[in-house]
Copies of this chain bind each other. A is one copy, B any other.
Amino acid sequence: MKVLKYAETPAIPVAPGVERRFIYTDHLMTVVVDLTEGPKETPDPFHAHPHEQTTYVAAGEVLFLMEGETPCRLKAGDMVAIPADKPHAIQLLTETARLIDNFTPVREDFIR
């Protein structure tokens, strides 16, 4: 059984204040993203990818931005869906937050 036990899995550092842990099948990847060093004064830069994405906010609060749309404040329990190739960004509004980012296809760029 392909299982990720959070407490036994080393985090992958991505950037200052950003760590990830992930699991995946052939076409689906789920990433636990732990954010620290908040709150932030401004949003992170917009980025886009051909993968479709959903995000579940597991803890904390973020401002979620999508190109050409009104930013939306999301807190624990909330979700957002991001079409392929749509530029998006977040701004961390709390000291810490945890996002569950889901992608199809798998983010091969996350796997070394």
Contacts and interface: CB of A to CB of B under 8 A. Distances in A.
A54 to B, nearest CB: 4
A3 B64 contact: yes
A12 interface: no
Q: By DSSP majority rule, is chain A's interface helix, strand, loop, or mixed?
A: strand
A37 B76 CA distance: 22
Point out which of A24, A84, A100 has the most chain B C-beta atoms below 10 A from its C-beta: A100
Interface size on A, as a range, is 35 or more
Contacts of A64: 1, 3
A66 to B, nearest CB: 5
Interface string A92-112: 000000001011100000000
Interface of A: 1-7, 23-30, 32, 52-54, 56, 58, 64, 66, 69-70, 72, 74, 76-84, 100, 102-104
Please give me the 5 A-B residue pairs with the lowest Cβ-Cβ distance, nearest first.
A6-B77, A30-B54, A25-B52, A2-B81, A4-B79
